[in-house]
Every structure is written in C-alpha cells, then in structure tokens.
C-alpha cells in the first residue's frame, strides 16, 4: 500500500522500518542507554517504541509485583510509556520490559 502523499508521507519511515542506526551502551552506574551512530536531524522519526500493549491498571499491577519480589528475572528496569485514553476512558500503555526493542534504552 502506498501513501497518496508520496515522498511527503510521514508514515514511510515506520512502514518501511527505516530506523537510524543505534547501539546499546553501558553507562556505568546508570545501567544501559542508547546511542545513535550518526547525527539525527531535528524532527526525524529515528526509532519506533515497541512493546506489550496493556491497560495502565495492568501495568500498575505488574509494577507492584516487581516491587515485592526479589527474583532478578522479574526485578528489572521499567520501560512503560503512556499512549492515550480511549473513548471508554481506558488508559493504555506500552510496556517494553519483556517484548521491547532498542528504543526502551533511550533516556
């Protein structure tokens, strides 16, 4: 499917997965971070944030579980990003902890 706006299409980067090159780096005492291997021009879609779509309530339950366990497999960093509230007033988030891509390391 091609966008009718042609080369002006804002979704072209996402549809064709044309992401900027990155590398995950160790930041010492602050965990991991993400570095771009070249300059990224302003107003550029550089990377897609992906993960598990869930309600904010389910994400809060997951965080409570994380906070009460000593299991290192569960007790990892938090990578939740708010999306929106839909017409039913449900708040949705993306949790990238288990199913995320490199964008979860942007900070």
- Residue closest to 68 by CA, chosen among 60, 58, 80, 79: 60
Question: Whole-angstrom Cα distance, residue 74 to residue 78?
Answer: 10
DSSP string, 44-86: --------EEEEHHHHHHHHHHHHH---TTTS----EEEEEE-
Query: Do 97 and 79 meet the contact criterion of CB atoms below 8 Å apart?
Result: yes
The CA distance from 48 to 12, in Å, is 12
pLDDT per position as a tens digit, 37-95: 999 988 888 888 888 899 989 988 888 887 777 665 554 556 677 887 778 888 888 88
pTM over 0.75: no
Average pLDDT of span 19-32: 88
Quick one: pLDDT at residue 73?
53
């Amino acid at each position: 499917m091609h966008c009718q706006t042609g080369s002006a299409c804002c979704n072209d980067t996402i549809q064709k997965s044309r992401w900027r090159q990155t590398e995950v780096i160790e930041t010492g005492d602050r965990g991991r971070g993400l570095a771009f291997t070249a300059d990224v021009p302003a107003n550029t879609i550089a990377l897609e944030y992906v993960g598990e779509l869930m309600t904010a309530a389910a994400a809060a339950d997951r965080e409570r579980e994380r906070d009460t366990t000593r299991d290192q497999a569960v007790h990892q960093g938090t990578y939740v990003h708010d999306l929106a509230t839909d017409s039913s007033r449900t708040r949705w988030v993306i949790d990238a902890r288990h199913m995320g891509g490199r964008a979860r390391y942007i900070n």
